[in-house]
Structure 1
Amino acid sequence: MEKMKAWAKKLKQQILVLYLAYKDDRVPWYAKIFTACVVAYALSPVDLIPDFIPVLGYLDDVILVPLGIMLALKMIPDEVIAECELKAEEMMKKDKPKNWVAGTVVILIWVAVLLWVILNFPFGMGFAGVV
């Protein structure tokens, strides 16, 4: 259990490092875009795959977010990461920022998918219309 807590704390710190790094002028534009997407998704209050969906719900938290963080960290210059790690330690003492824009985008995607399903499948006919 202690290993999981340490892993989660390290993950939070890496997200904060990326949050600070994507604002730095020394980071290449392509790394900024990728890093901003990773940070936005990681800090979003809404997941693309909701956690209540068995297995898949936690897939993003356990695989996609750490993979995105790892790739983003490889794109950022080492000196920027070192500076941002120091700043992130200070931020760890406070609440992490929320990205409500990313959360809104995820909610809009789910609404669009739901509307598409409702408009394209005849639920009133039951399964008789599908066969």
Structure 2
Amino acid sequence: MLTAIKGWAKRLKRDVVALWIAARSAKTPWVARIIALLVAGYALSPIDLIPDVIPVLGLLDDLLIVPLGIALAVACIPAALMARYRREAERVLARPVSRVGAAVILLLWLGVLVLLAGWALRAAGAR
């Protein structure tokens, strides 16, 4: 059962990326593009409609809203196009993750935070 759940989650992740690709493609019908953009944006967003800290209800959006939105978007996209978007999503997800790139971005954000903290301290000291 755990293997089935992991497979389902992996397919969901692939479909979210495929919908993101579909939303940006001119070949996707415009209604499907809008639905795909909304669903992918919501699924990839760190902000949930129902916060996860709310017991039971917080997980409902992840377990119901996102899969239903994906199913609706996939139903609006022609099967041949969706198959191509899924293949492209699998290629995107198969790319290696760059830990060096992540470290550089983290250091850049840390630098921005240090600059903002210095600016805030100078501004507070000038008063």
| TM-score between both structures, scaled by the size of structure 1 | 0.68
Aligned pair 1:25/2:21, yes or no?
no
Q: Deviation digits for residues 28-55 of structure 1, max 9, x if unmatched? A: 2111111100000000012111111011
What are the Cα deviations for residues 21-78 of structure 1, in whole angstroms up to 9, with x where unaligned?
1111121211111110000000001211111101110000000000000000010112
Q: Which runs of 5+ in 2 are unaligned?
A: 98-127
Q: CA deviation at 1:3?
A: 1.6
Equivalent position amino acid for 1:71 in 2? L
Measure the CA separation in 1 of the matches of 2:27 and 2:79.
10
Q: Aligned with 1:54: secondary structure? A: coil
> Aligned equivalents of 1:83 and 1:10: distance in 2?
14
2-side partners of 1:32 and 1:84: how far apart? 13
**Separation of aligned partners in 2, 1:77 and 1:2:** 29
CA distance, structure 2, for counterparts of residue 78 and residue 3 of structure 1: 24
Contiguous gaps of at least 5 residues in structure 1 = 96-131
2:41 maps to 40
Q: Residue by residue, what CA displacement relative to the aligned partner does 1:70-104 show, whole Å, maximum 9, x if unpaired?
A: 00001011221111111111111246xxxxxxxxx
Partner of 1:8: 9
How far apart, in 2, do the equivalents of 1:67 and 1:83 lie?
A: 21
Name the SS for the 2:94 alignment partner. coil
Q: Give 1:79's aligned residue.
A: 80
Which ranges of 4 or more aligned residues in structure 1 deviate by more than 4 Å?
none
TM-score with structure 2 length normalisation? Answer: 0.70
Q: Does the CA-based 8 Å contact 1:20-1:84 persist in structure 2? A: yes
Q: CA RMSD in A?
A: 1.2
CA distance in 2, matches of 1:89, 1:46: 25
| Higher normalized contact order (CA 8 Å, seq sep 6+, divided by chain length) | 1
Kindly, what percent of the aligned residue pairs are identical?
A: 45
By percentage of residues, which structure has more helix? 2
